[in-house]
Every structure is written in structure tokens, then in C-alpha cells.
Chains A and B, each alone.
Chain A
Amino acid sequence: MSILVIAEHDNESLKSATLNTVTAALAIGGDVSVLVAGSQCQSVAEAAAKISGVSKVLVADNAVYERQLAENMLPLIVELAAGKTHLLAPATTSGKNIMPGVAALLDVAQISEIISVESADVFERPIYAGNAIAKVQSLDAVKVLTVRTTAFDEAELTGAASIEVVASVCDAGNSRFVGEEVAVSERPELTSAKVIISGGRGMGNGENFALLEAVADKLGAAVGASRAAVDAGFVSNDMQVGQTGKIVAPDLYIAVGISGAIQHLAGMKDSKVIVAINKDEEAPIFSIADYGLVADLFEAVPELEAKL
């Protein structure tokens, strides 16, 4: 088996999603290489070389890969796929953007968001918003997989892989990066936070999320929201936890004023410890919470902050 993992990074630092993906690759077994495609991304390549179990880091360092536009990444990955049995990327927006096209050009399927490796060609993945788990066998010579990062631990960083330069420059010329709006936050990112506090429709409005932010600041937590809170216009969509938002699995997840719709549970039910604060004691969220507190959130949350 010969496996290529596509690294997730921002040209400066390697994202932890790559480490989870390498763990999935090591579970398949065989030789694991990592591709770092970016611009001025040498520090990322050096970080990737430290991932335990990785034998080789391939670096394609060119301005055309700076934003990892799918149009330019596809021919590069297809070229590097020669001789590979598996191509893996984390199921982040970047991995999801790129990998299906790679699969199509190789005339193979993509198996999306795997949560377990049963063998070199059998994988499990959630379907129907996590309400069912499908066990799928690939019939293709090359397996293209995206990996749900919360289902795999991070690989360790005690390795010393070799770094090899890839000279290919692929510029499709039909797409161009214009700009980005990065959600600025002092807090950790939702997908990598150890503690998350999320608000639902029960928060009443966007201003009230300040109550959660105060608790988050004490715990070093990220702030999330249910789809109901996003749809009601309280907060922006990038805070959404759930099947149609971010899939998270922190050590501690505090759900405040969230009833527990199926699509929200699908996004957070793998958290280690779940706390629910809701005034409706019949709320479905309590059926999966380790610790439930039936209380008015506008009293309980400030009290929680004071006691931390």
C-alpha cells in the first residue's frame, strides 16, 4: 500500500486536521507520504516531516498553489497519484473542495468523511446526518477518501521524514483568488477547541451570546451555535455546529438553550462530556447529556461564569 495524504495548512502552519488524517492513513497501513502544496510553505513542510509514521513529505511550493484552488490542485494531485493506492485529505472545506475532482479525473469514487478504517478497502461513514452508519467497500484500484477528523486521534510529532521538492506547476488559469474575510477571534477554532459552549434559539438574540463569551473566556473555549440560532439571525453561520455546519468532538461541550434537534446532535454527540442547560426539562438534548441542568439560562450562565 502506498498512501498520499494532502496536508491542510495556511502556508505558515500545519493544521491539526492533517494529523488526524495521517492516523487514518496509518490505520490502512503501508507507506505514507504527505503533500504540502502552497506558496512559501517551507515551514509547513518541516512541520509535516515531524509527523510520526510519515516516510516522505512532498513539497510543491509555487504561487499557483498559494490558495489551493481546486483548478490548480487537481492536476498536481492526479500527477502525484501515480503508483498510489490511497489518497486521503481531511474532510475540511478545503479537502471537500478538492478531493472529489481528483477522484473524478482518476475515474474512481470518493468515499466521504470516513469515521473508521475496517480494512484497506472497507470504511465506515455516517449517512443521513449521522442517523445511520454505512459500511462501504471500494471496488476501485485507487481509493480517494476524506476523513472526519474528530473520529481519529492526532498522530504524534516524533518523526523525521525526508522532504522532496515537486517541480510541477499547474495553473489552469480559469480561477483566481480575490479575497477573504477571516472571522477574527481571540478564541480557539471550533473544530480544534477542547471546550465549546454553544447557544441555541433559547438565547433570544445575538447580544445575549455575550453571556456565553464570558464563560468561554474563563474556560479558553470556543463559542458555537445551533442551526436554529443561525437561522434566526442571532450569529453568523460559521459558528454553526451540526450536520450542516461544523462537526466537533471537544472534551467538554456545553449546550445552552439548545433543544437538541437531530441535525445538531449529529455535529456534537461525539464530545467526551456534554452539559445541557435548558429550562425545558423535556428537551431531547437531556437524553444525551452527561450533566443536565434544568434552569433559566439567563440566571444559570452568569452564575456559572462567576463560579469558574
Chain B
Amino acid sequence: MKVLVTVKRVIDYNVKVRVKSDNSGVDLSNVKMAMNPFCEIAVEEAIRLKEAGIATEVVVVSLGVKACQEQLRTALALGADRAIHVETDQELESLNVAKLLAKVIEEEQPGMVILGKQAIDTDNNQTGQMLAALTGMPQGTFASKIVVDGDKALVTREVDGGLQTVELNMPIIATTDLRLNEPRYASLPNIMKAKRKPLVVKTIEELGVSIKDHTKLLSVTPPPERQGGIKVADVAELVDKLKNEAKVI
């Protein structure tokens, strides 16, 4: 079985986000970029499926600017076999990403597609679900466990209030949640080896997918700042304040 994994290049999760003074967006100049943490979990899961003998090939895909190839090389160093880069300088909305990925799926015919549940920049949490709808493949979103059993997959999902397990007919779309696995680090020899693994670059035109804007970003502003309050001396004062000043207990 071939497993297709998607990775997104985003701001590193340790970087403090600053809104541009003209409110046009977030300042990304000279900021450290990295693979989206939920995508790291997706790559790890695919590699584990290969190590377990369930997956035969792991193909990693990224869409965006040329520099996305850094994240694709990282995925190759972690153990993916080959990479596809859909290169564009356009900002791609989730629906457009899903349409382009649907085309890649049509060409690659994977048995499973694994995506991060959301990217930590736009926080949309929708590309995987859109891809499932466009391809007609069943979805196991927010997965904390994926078990392949013949032509079915059992996916345990993190839902409000607990865990839910669904049985899906292969091929499937899965999106990763935090508890699915703990991603590994790439070793230096593997980073060197990754440079020789195949990476194909395609354009939106080559994929033959027509896309258009569905939303317009009007402004990006910093969130309202919450003012700090006071320090209390001891527990007695805290209880008194909560009872008589804030009146919340």
C-alpha cells in the first residue's frame, strides 16, 4: 500500500507571532519556519506503517513557495521515499489545497492519505475533511490510533468527551491528533541521504486544476490584551476576593 502524506511549511511553533503594523498580516520576514507539528505526526505515522510492513511506499507532498522543499527534505530524511512539490507563490486557501491534493491522489492512487488535523498558522482544521468530500474517501479525523485490517481501517478519534472508533473502507483519509505518536528526529546520515531521494516539482497548471479565491482577508490585528490584576498575600485573601469582590464563588 502506498501512503501519501502532506506537509505544510509554517512559522516555527516556538516563535512569537507579531502582527504587521499595517494590519495586512503576520510578519514572517526573517522568522524561523518549520514543518507544521501535526504534519510531523502524519509523517511519523506513515513511516511507522512502512516499518510495520503495511505501507510499501511513503510519498510526501507539499504545496507552496520554493522553500517548502526544505520541509519535504526533512520528511525524506525522516524516512519518506519520495516527494512531490506543487510550487506556487500564491496563498492557497484550504479548498484550493484540497482540490490540488485530490488531483495528486488521482495520479498516485494511495491506499491511505495522512494529513495533520490543522496547521498552526491559519488554524483552519478543514483540508483533510474537504479532501475526503472531494475524493469520496471516508475520513478518520483527529486520529489517536490507526489500525489497518485488510481492506478496512479502524481509526480511533479524539472527540469531545472521549474517544470514538470508526471502521472505514480503504482507501481512507486520516488527520492526526496529538496522541497518535511521538515524532522522531532525523539522523545526520539520513539527512545526507535525503538529498539524493527523488523530489518532483509540479505547477498548478501542470496539474490542470482551476482554482479561485473564496475569501478575502480584510485585516489582521493583535488580540485585545488582557490586563493583569493583583497579587494576593495568602489563600485567605484569595478566597475573600473571590467571594466578595469578584463574586464568583
Contacts and interface: CB of A to CB of B under 8 A. Distances in A.
A174 B246 contact: no
A134 B227 CA distance: 22
A281 B138 CA distance: 50
A126 interface: yes
Interface string B188-225: 00000000000000000000000001111111111100
A71 B168 CA distance: 10
Interface string B223-249: 100111111101110110110001011
A40 interface: no
Contact of B139 (A70, A135, A176, A246): A70
B132 A273 contact: no
Contacts of B133: 74, 100-102, 104-105
Size bin of chain A's contact surface: 35 or more
Interface residues of B, number: 76
A292 B231 contact: yes
Contacts of B13: 263
B165 A252 contact: no
B210 to A, nearest CB: 11
B179 A237 contact: yes
Q: Which of A71, A100, A308 has the most CB of B within 10 A?
A: A100
A131 B223 contact: yes
A69 interface: yes
A127 B121 contact: yes
Contacts of B67: none
Interface of A: 67, 69-71, 74, 92-94, 96-105, 107-113, 122, 126-140, 172, 174-183, 189, 191, 195, 219, 230, 237-238, 243-244, 246, 251-252, 262-263, 269, 272-275, 281, 286-295, 300, 303-304, 307-308
B214 A109 contact: yes
Given A134-B220, A139-B214, A288-B226, A109 B166 contact: no
A307 B236 contact: yes
Contacts of B109: none
Contact of B17 (A98, A128, A269): A128
Interface stretch (B45-53, B58-66, B76-84, B123-131): B123-131
Contact of A269 (B214, B219, B220, B226): B226
B26 interface: yes
Contacts of A112: 123-126
Contacts of B137: 174
Contacts of A105: 133-134
Interface of B: 11, 13, 16-17, 19, 26, 93-95, 98, 120-134, 137-139, 141-142, 144, 154, 157-169, 177-179, 213-223, 226-232, 234-236, 238-239, 241-242, 246, 248-249
A126 B223 contact: yes
B62 to A, nearest CB: 20
A273 B94 contact: no
Contacts of A131: 16-17, 19, 222-223
Contacts of A93: 141-142, 157-160
A178 B229 contact: no
Contacts of B241: 291
Nearest to B19: A132
A135 B166 contact: no
A288 B19 CA distance: 20
A139 B216 contact: yes
Nearest to A144: B126
Contacts of A100: 94, 125-130, 133
A49 B134 CA distance: 34
Given A96-B125, A132-B221, A132-B223, A175 B130 contact: no
Q: What are the nearest 10 A-B pairs in CB distance? A: A101-B133, A100-B126, A109-B214, A290-B229, A100-B129, A104-B130, A131-B17, A104-B133, A252-B248, A135-B218
B222 A133 contact: yes
Q: Which of A93, A129, A274 has the most CB of B within 10 A?
A: A93
A136 B248 contact: no
Q: Which of B124, B142, B160 has the most CB of A within 10 A?
A: B160
B162 A219 contact: no
Contact of B162 (A132, A136, A238): A238
A175 B123 contact: no
A132 B26 contact: yes
Contacts of B17: 128-129, 131-132
Contact of B246 (A180, A273, A287): A273
B60 to A, nearest CB: 22
Given A138-B214, A181-B163, A237 B232 contact: no
Contacts of A99: 126, 129
B238 A304 contact: yes
A238 B249 CA distance: 26
A137 B234 CA distance: 49
A269 B144 CA distance: 27
Nearest to A122: B218
A112 to B, nearest CB: 5
A111 B215 contact: yes
